[in-house]
Amino acid sequence: MKTRWLGPLTVSEIGFGCMGLKQSYPPFPPEDEAIALIHKAIDLSVTFFDTAEVYGPFVDEELLGRALEGRRDEVVVATKFGFQIGASQTDEHGYTTVLNSRPEHIRKALEGSLRRLKTDHIDLYYQHRVDPNVPIEDVAGCMRDLIDEGKILAWGLSEASATTIRRAHAVCPVAALQSEYSIWYRDIEKEILGVLEELGIGLVPFSPLGKGVLALKPGEALQLPEGDFRRSIPRFAPENLAGNLKIVELVQDFARRKNTTPAAIALAWLLAQKPWIVPIPGTKKVNRLEGNASASDVVLTPEDLKEMRTRIEAVELRGDRYNTAQLSLIDK
């Protein structure tokens, strides 16, 4: 698999998002199967793994830490801080909604992540959500100190506004922004992509497969089991979903043309947008993992991309991408 740069880090151009192994997308696989899947990803030359302390909470980091025993030097690990885990304020799915990016809390969170991940440093440490009660300059200053101490190699932001990105980068260079971006959600194109290109910051799109919809194969229905957080998202509400799924048809069309999977087409489209974009699809199945990794070999010509853009923009996507509680955490 080809590689790309995120600040000082060299990573596989397709990463692996570990969240779904322990959160949001039940049923979750047995631990031995999850570890085997991570090992398979490494064998497929995937070197970039993403987790967060709040996933579970804590258990996703613990799983990745166990999976990487003996293989830590083969990979780049990203995790995140920024929530007050254990706080009483949660959304209807039990997700923490209280933010805390005070430097003293960051240091405490980092020590926990290092312990759970069984490592002496974090390669890429993200602020999971911007904390309006803590100046971003204070957060960036803390990141600068942690880099100097060797506890992290680089840092990033998640779902941050253009203004916040600029302020943070002025104090300590930001290696990457992690935000939602896919054929299914493209608001980031309006302003953020230009800022990232100007400042030399990489982009790590989460939900690059539209929370699963862009991976659907012809005739395959979208399954939302009990406990699946997509049930709370307006874009997945029945009155919106039927029309929104029209965008899946074009992905499936190109998959047929290129003799590959819809997921590989959706990921290849992201890779073709900018050379500093590194998507992190998640999966619980080996065949899906192999399909995701194969996106690195898919070639979309300028003519393909032009046609795809025209057809994508002809679909009016309806409904917010998050529920009200989750939207309240997005930096404006």
pLDDT tens, residue by residue, 99-116: 999 999 999 999 999 999
pTM for the complete prediction?
0.96
pLDDT at residue 94, rounded to an integer? 62
List the CATH number of the domain containing 194.
3.20.20.100
Q: Is residue 187 part of a domain?
A: yes
pLDDT at residue 90, rounded to an integer? 63
pLDDT at residue 92, rounded to an integer? 61
DSSP state of 151: S
List 55, 95, 125, 126, catalytic entry: 55
Q: Is the model's pLDDT at 91 over the cut of 70?
A: no
Q: Is the model's pLDDT at 134 over the cut of 70?
A: yes
> Is 55 an annotated catalytic residue?
yes
For residue 260, give the amino acid letter: T
Q: Is residue 284 part of a domain?
A: yes
pLDDT at residue 97, rounded to an integer? 75
Scan for tokens 């971003």, then name that residue. 136
Mean pLDDT of 89-96: 64
pLDDT at residue 88, rounded to an integer? 57
Q: Taking a C-beta distance cutoff of 8 angstroms, is the pair 321, 329 a contact?
A: no
pLDDT tens, residue by residue, 9-67: 999 999 999 999 999 999 999 999 999 999 999 999 999 999 999 999 999 999 999 99
Q: Is residue 240 part of a domain?
A: yes
Q: Which domain holds residue 200?
A: 3-327
The DSSP annotation for 41-79 comes to: HHHTT--EEE--TTTTTTHHHHHHHHHTTTTGGG-EEEE
The number of folded domains in the chain is: 1
Q: Is the model's pLDDT at 244 over the cut of 70?
A: yes
pLDDT at residue 256, rounded to an integer? 97
Q: Is residue 332 part of a domain?
A: no
Mean pLDDT of 217-227: 91
Q: Is the model's pLDDT at 81 over the cut of 90?
A: yes
For residue 209, give the amino acid letter: L
Residues in the chain: 332
Instruction: Report residue 37 CA to chain centroid gap.
Output: 18
pLDDT at residue 325, rounded to an integer? 84
pLDDT at residue 86, rounded to an integer? 80
Average pLDDT, the chain: 95
The DSSP annotation for 247-315 comes to: HHHHHHHHHHHHTS-HHHHHHHHHHHH-TTB------S-HHHHHHHHGGGG----HHHHHHHHHHHHTS
72: burial class by Cβ within 10 Å (0-12, 13-18, 19+)? middle
Edge-to-edge strand list for the sheet holding 176-180: 16-17, 48-50, 76-81, 122-127, 152-158, 176-180, 202-206
Q: Is residue 141 part of a domain?
A: yes
Q: Categorize the per-residue pLDDT at 3 as very low, low, confident or very high, splitting at 50, 70 and 90.
A: very high
Q: Is residue 32 part of a domain?
A: yes
- Dmax (CA) for the chain in angstroms is 53
Q: Is the model's pLDDT at 286 over the cut of 70?
A: yes
Q: Taking a C-beta distance cutoff of 8 angstroms, is the pair 106, 142 a contact?
A: yes
